[in-house]
């Protein structure tokens, strides 16, 4: 077997089969994948959630993660914030000729590790091979299936007047980590991405009996993107800047570069809108799940679809929806 991807690996013949059997199958081994058929046959509940996502991250590796871990966690998190329990993932890769097989092995191993951490299995997949220079080394497309436990209440995904907004962890780490790695910004120590699966901490909140109105993992567009979408046309959301968790290194990098942390992408943060009287119950569940910096960061009131940030000096500024080319890009 060669040391890098060639066009033959995309031909469907011996080289393709060898790629599947020596790299993908050993890493993702499970009873649903092992037949290597065109579709996996899976047990599921009465209601399922399904999501799909594409990943084209540059660079492929960054402090705290890589494209493989990002693909698994991003898909798991999209299922988790719907209220479902993530169960199964598919994985399709587009590989460039010349991609070192050792690089592919590292990414596949990272995906397998993230899937084990999240408690999901990768049950089917596909590969295609393209000429060098076509896709920044490789791209990954994943799809995920989650199930809803019997008797569960699916969050309506609509905040209500009187709700509070909870944030599970410090924001802006992922976007700043990817930006720094891409542009060789020599922060010392390096800013690390927060990429991780959120399904266990979300399940802890739901199983504590919290009546969650809305949940979201604020990826592209950051916290600002989520809150402005939640505000819609009939709600006002007030964000308390003093309570917004941001790691010291990330805060400093944002200040140096003139970037507002609420617009920066996250991959290990969950936002919740829930009744104010249940805030302490939710915080206790998050802290028990390891989210030591979880915090109440805002409140919801009737209004006209605006988001305001209360600043450190007590004044208010508008938080506008993300527009144009977002910086830093995460893909």
CATH at residue 215? 3.90.650.10
Domain that holds residue 260: 163-318
Residues 138 and 245 in one domain: no
Please report which confidence band the pLDDT of residue 254 belongs to, taking 50, 70 and 90 as the band edges: very high
Residues 314 and 177 in one domain: yes
Indicate whether 302 belongs to any domain.
yes
Looking up residue 142, the CATH number of its domain turns out to be 3.30.1330.10
**From the centroid of its chain, how far is CA 177?**
14
Among residues 117, 147, 177, the one where a domain terminates is: 147
Quick check: 94 pLDDT over 80? yes
**Preceding amide of 109 cis, omega within 30:** no
Indicate whether 330 belongs to any domain.
no
Query: How many angstroms separate the Cα of 117 from the Cα of each of 70, 73, 152, 196, 276?
Result: 13, 9, 24, 9, 32
Strands 271-275 and 65-66: unpaired
Residues 142 and 170 in one domain: no
Cβ-based neighbour number of residue 198 at 10 Å? 26
Mean pLDDT check: name the lowest of 8-12, 58-62, 70-74.
Answer: 8-12
Q: Which of 260, 263, 120, 259 is nearest to 203 (CA)?
A: 120
Quick check: 18 pLDDT over 90? no
Quick check: 285 pLDDT over 70? yes
Looking at the structure of the chain, the number of domains it has is 2
Query: How many angstroms separate the Cα of 254 from the Cα of each of 57, 115, 171, 172?
Result: 21, 31, 11, 9
Residues 179 and 240 in one domain: yes
Residues 138 and 170 in one domain: no
Indicate whether 264 belongs to any domain.
yes
Phi/psi of residue 274, nearest 5 degrees: -155, 165
Mean pLDDT, residues 270-288 taken together: 98
For the whole model, what pTM was predicted?
A: 0.91
What is the predicted pLDDT for the residue at 306? 97
For 289, the 3-state DSSP assignment is coil
């Amino acid at each position: 077997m060669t040391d890098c991807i060639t066009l033959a690996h995309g031909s469907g013949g011996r080289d393709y089969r060898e790629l599947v059997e020596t790299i993908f199958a050993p890493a993702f081994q499970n009873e649903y994948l092992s037949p290597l058929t065109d579709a996996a046959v899976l047990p599921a509940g009465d209601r399922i959630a399904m999501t799909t996502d594409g990943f084209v991250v540059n660079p492929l590796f960054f402090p705290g993660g890589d494209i493989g871990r990002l693909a698994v966690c991003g898909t798991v998190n999209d299922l988790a914030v719907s209220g479902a329990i993530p169960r199964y993932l598919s994985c399709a890769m587009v590989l460039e000729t010349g991609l070192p097989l050792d690089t592919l092995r590292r990414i596949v191993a990272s995906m397998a590790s993230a899937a084990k951490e999240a408690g999901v299995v990768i049950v089917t997949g596909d590969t295609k091979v393209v000429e060098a220079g076509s896709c920044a080394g490789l791209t990954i497309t994943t799809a995920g299936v989650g199930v809803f436990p019997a008797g569960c209440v699916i969050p309506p995904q609509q905040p209500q007047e009187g709700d509070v907004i909870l944030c599970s962890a410090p924001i802006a780490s992922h976007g700043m980590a990817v930006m720094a790695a891409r542009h060789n910004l020599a922060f010392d120590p390096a800013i690390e991405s927060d990429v991780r699966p959120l399904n266990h901490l979300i399940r802890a909140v739901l199983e504590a009996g919290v009546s969650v109105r809305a949940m979201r993992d604020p990826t592209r567009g950051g916290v600002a993107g989520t809150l402005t979408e939640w505000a819609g046309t009939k709600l006002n959301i007030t964000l308390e800047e003093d309570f917004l968790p941001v790691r010291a290194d990330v805060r400093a990098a944002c200040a140096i570069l003139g970037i507002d942390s609420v617009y920066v992408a996250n991959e290990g943060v969950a936002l919740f809108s829930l009744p104010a009287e249940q805030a302490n119950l939710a915080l206790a569940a998050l802290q028990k799940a390891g989210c030591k910096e979880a915090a109440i960061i805002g409140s919801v009131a009737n209004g006209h679809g605006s988001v305001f940030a209360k600043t450190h000096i007590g004044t208010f500024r508008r938080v506008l929806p993300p527009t144009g080319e977002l910086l830093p890009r995460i893909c």
